Structure 1
Amino acid sequence: MTSNFLKGFALLVLALAATPASAAALYSNEMASASGWGFNAFGSAASAGDYAVTFGYDYSADFIPEAPNSQVGDTATSGVKLEANLAGGAASGFTLYPTGQSFSGNYQLRFDVWMNYDADERINGGSAGTTEFIGGGIGYDNASADIGAGAQIIATGDGGSGSDWRAFADGTFLAATEYVAGDRNGFNPHYSNFLPGVSPPAGQFQVDDPAGVAGSPGFQWVTFEVNTNNGLSTVVLEKPNGDRRTVIVIDEPYTSDGNIGLYYADLFSSVTSRPDLTFGLIDNVVVSAIPEPTAGLLLAVAGCLAGLRRRV
């Protein structure tokens, strides 16, 4: 584990180097069809099929705007809709993965995320049932239903957990001190200043359209980015206006070679009273190679970190 100074140094260089514009695409999918996708489910989702995955879902029906990274020729306002713990009353979830895919070397995963929930229940009620998690990562083994191999990041959509941001290295839940914020709670200014609370789309007719919870990707598109570069993984968030913020630099051991996985879960037993309002969306999944000049820079940083570690 690095000192805060070393982690800050690595973070600065990695944030500058890991830019989406410089990457060459290895795989892309606009989530229009279930063809070419596998599923691994856990909890009530596995035992009772207590989940739903709807590819090619037209989210404009929920008055949600088009995802920020849709390309010309994509099906507008169409992605995959994700739901868990619909009625089972037990923790459940699943991982999606593209079949027949494997990636190695220095590469990057990006995907657009939207989280929806009953804002009135979360803010004015007991918030039982509104807290669900969305995310994904690299180095996936095509087998784990819950968090397993690779570098993974998941987040709540409604700020309803003491650990709204959760990063993993080969299944190890990383300590709060590993994060840039030194904290996993979305209320921390590192998250809340970057992701202010947003009201649900007016067309959803949620009661009084209360403002959302800051620090989580509720009612707004956020691009999740997971990079792997010579043994270091950075997790970066990007807003539609291009603003970026690093969540964590993972320098614990993790599997980098393998597939990608997209994760959705309700890790609590409570069931929302408004399942029609409680779901996640993922669109525009892209895996890209990180160019060699960037990889070389990161290798130099990794060497510098290794040398400095011996002196602290």
Structure 2
Amino acid sequence: MMKNRQSMLSLLATLTLMSVSSLKVWGDTEVFRNELSDSAGWSLVADDIDDTKAVFGFDYSDLGIPEAPNSREGDTGTSGLQVFVNLVDGKANALAAIPTGMSFSGKYVYQFDMWINAPGPFPEGGSGSTQTGGGSIGFVNDTTNPLSGAGFNVTGEGGTGTDYRFYAHDELQAFATHIDPDTNVNDLYDEKMVYFDEASCLVPGECGGGNADGNTYLESAFPGLQAPEKQQTDYPLVQIGTTKDGAAAFQWMTVKFTVDTDAGTAFVQMTSDTSGNTVDIGTFTLNNTYVDRDTIDTKLVTTMEGNISLLYRDPFDSLVLFDDIPVTFGLFDNVMVTQIEDVVELPGDYNKNGTVDAADYTTWKDNFGQSAQSANSLASVPEPASMLVATIGILLIGALRHRMYLRSGSKCVFYGERLASRGCGQMISLSEYARSATRVNCIDLALCDARVAPDAPSVQL
């Protein structure tokens, strides 16, 4: 009898493991993080390096700027990279900071905290106030072009016709439309679209309203702000007024690139720590990065593999006063790259708790027939037949093991705790078994109290 029972257990275990589908879920690993407290491991690329300034480990609290949102315990507080461009020459200049020799590929998320500080008075901004901050992916390590790769830039004070910009190397690009994966609809529909001006359109006549204060989507997401109180006190004739709605200045922005180099896409988002709102800027694809938009015959970016960059730029030939009023700069903190990989989990572990048990039947039952695209649903749902075989196998294994235990034991226990809630021999339904709050797994479920005799009959499931 014992030999037959063991054979049955072995057979059921084999059938169960063979019939349950493996789940695939997204797993992630942080592969790079730097708080920019010193220059070790960083390289600088500029149009004119002599007309730039980069200060690693700058204590930005000196200018009344709060801690960046993605700082962690143990980080150097209020410390980051401060960047100035176009100091004395009065000509366009850009500076990129890159982690030396790094390269990223596959599916990953690149993000950083960014603060753009601009000179007033606002809302228009003072002389030379239009400078841009951002970053890129696919940066070529041995290039001398600070705008290398697929990059996103945004102005601080919102004072141009193209405040939110995509670049393929140094060529201004149009946006691809982003499709929301859950709803399968365009989440940047017309009244929200971050358009460029006419000169930057793939299709002439179909773009417009690209400046920050002319886009209702941006205006509602990023209401206008004032300079930090300390700057208003120290420079009362300059740092006065409120920026335009939709402008990016005077707030920590977390810029995020969600990249798939195999697919050739990079989805860009920006989140304000002040308003808490996230704007879906747009999607880079290898199909929307061209040198000549009129003929569309040459791609400028052919791969999104490569390094990452932090970028600060003055696109105009202008000067601001830096020595007396040092309030025109970019600030970066908390650079992170997270690699995303497919991870195969324990077969049949549908509630993802590391154990295959009757609770997985409940999870499967509650989610069967629902859309797998929902963020709260299962990553995949097996066919009913395979799940039924798996569930029956799991429960029968538990039943056989439980009968053996009751016949040979002196009392019925559950991990050392007495259960007196059921009488010996009481029947229990499959659904009640699955819902049992006292269950850890099907092998250890106790259905009778501690007074059961050694020769008590086995409990039936």
TM-score for both structures, normalised by structure 1: 0.79
Aligned to 1:164: 163
Q: Which runs of 4+ in 1 moved over 6 A?
A: none
Contact 1:202 1:209 in 2 (8 A): no
Partners in 1 of 2:211 and 2:27 — Cα distance? 32
Aligned to 1:307: none
Segment of structure 1 superposing worse, 57-66 or 234-243? 234-243
Contact 1:178 1:250 in 2 (8 A): no
**Aligned match for 2:37, one of 32, 39, 42:** 32
Partners in 2 of 1:177 and 1:257 — Cα distance? 19
- Map 1:249-264 → 2, pairs under 5 A: 249-253=283-287, 254=301, 255-264=303-312
- Map 1:58-207 → 2, pairs under 5 A: 58-120=59-121, 122-123=122-123, 127-142=126-141, 143-149=143-149, 151-175=150-174, 180=188, 181-183=193-195, 184-187=210-213, 188-204=215-231, 205=233, 206-207=236-237
Residue ranges of structure 1 left out of the alignment (5+ in a row): 1-20, 298-312
Contact 1:94 1:145 in 2 (8 A): no
Contact 1:95 1:144 in 2 (8 A): no
Q: What one-letter code is carried by the residue in structure 2 that aligns with 1:85?
A: N
Q: What one-letter code is carried by the residue in structure 1 that aligns with 2:221?
A: F
Instruction: Determine which structure has greater relative contact order: mean sequence separation of CA pairs < 8 Å that are 6+ residues apart, divided by chain length.
Output: 1
Contact 1:55 1:81 in 2 (8 A): yes
Contact 1:169 1:250 in 2 (8 A): no
Aligned to 1:300: none
Q: What one-letter code is carried by the residue in structure 2 that aligns with 1:215?
A: G
Partners in 1 of 2:28 and 2:278 — Cα distance? 16
Partners in 2 of 1:178 and 1:170 — Cα distance? 20
Q: What one-letter code is carried by the residue in structure 1 that aligns with 2:32?
A: Y
Q: What one-letter code is carried by the residue in structure 1 that aligns with 2:157?
A: D
Aligned to 1:284: 334
Partners in 1 of 2:151 and 2:28 — Cα distance? 20
* SS of residue matched to 2:217: helix
Partners in 2 of 1:167 and 1:159 — Cα distance? 16
Partners in 1 of 2:100 and 2:175 — Cα distance? 33
Aligned to 1:228: 259
Contact 1:200 1:219 in 2 (8 A): yes
Q: Deviations over 1:269-300 (max 9, x none)?
A: 1111355011110000001112437xxx8xxx
Rg larger for? 2
Q: What one-letter code is carried by the residue in structure 2 that aligns with 1:258?
A: G
- In the TM superposition, residue 52 of structure 1 has moved relative to its aligned partner by 0.5
RMSD value, Cα: 2.2
User: What is the total number of aligned residue pairs between the two structures?
Assistant: 267
Contact 2:176 2:285 in 1 (8 A): no
Contact 1:113 1:217 in 2 (8 A): no
Q: What one-letter code is carried by the residue in structure 1 that aligns with 2:257?
A: V
* SS of residue matched to 2:212: coil
Aligned to 1:3: none
- In the TM superposition, residue 124 of structure 1 has moved relative to its aligned partner by 5.8
Segment of structure 1 superposing worse, 222-231 or 162-171? 162-171
- In the TM superposition, residue 58 of structure 1 has moved relative to its aligned partner by 0.0
Q: What one-letter code is carried by the residue in structure 1 that aligns with 2:251?
A: Q
Segment of structure 1 superposing worse, 267-276 or 128-137? 267-276
* SS of residue matched to 1:191: helix
Partners in 1 of 2:249 and 2:52 — Cα distance? 20
Residue ranges of structure 2 left out of the alignment (5+ in a row): 1-25, 179-187, 196-209, 288-300, 344-372, 374-461
* SS of residue matched to 1:38: strand
* SS of residue matched to 1:32: coil
- In the TM superposition, residue 116 of structure 1 has moved relative to its aligned partner by 0.7
Partners in 2 of 1:290 and 1:215 — Cα distance? 31
TM-score for both structures, normalised by structure 2: 0.55
* SS of residue matched to 2:336: strand
Partners in 2 of 1:213 and 1:105 — Cα distance? 38
Q: What one-letter code is carried by the residue in structure 2 that aligns with 1:201?
A: P
- In the TM superposition, residue 177 of structure 1 has moved relative to its aligned partner by 7.2
Gap change, CA 1:242 and 1:159, over 3 Å in 2: closer
- In the TM superposition, residue 182 of structure 1 has moved relative to its aligned partner by 4.4
Contact 1:114 1:222 in 2 (8 A): yes
Q: Deviations over 1:42-95 (max 9, x none)?
A: 0xx33xx11110000000000000000001100110000010011111111111
Q: What one-letter code is carried by the residue in structure 1 that aligns with 2:89?
A: G
Gap change, CA 1:185 and 1:22, over 3 Å in 2: farther
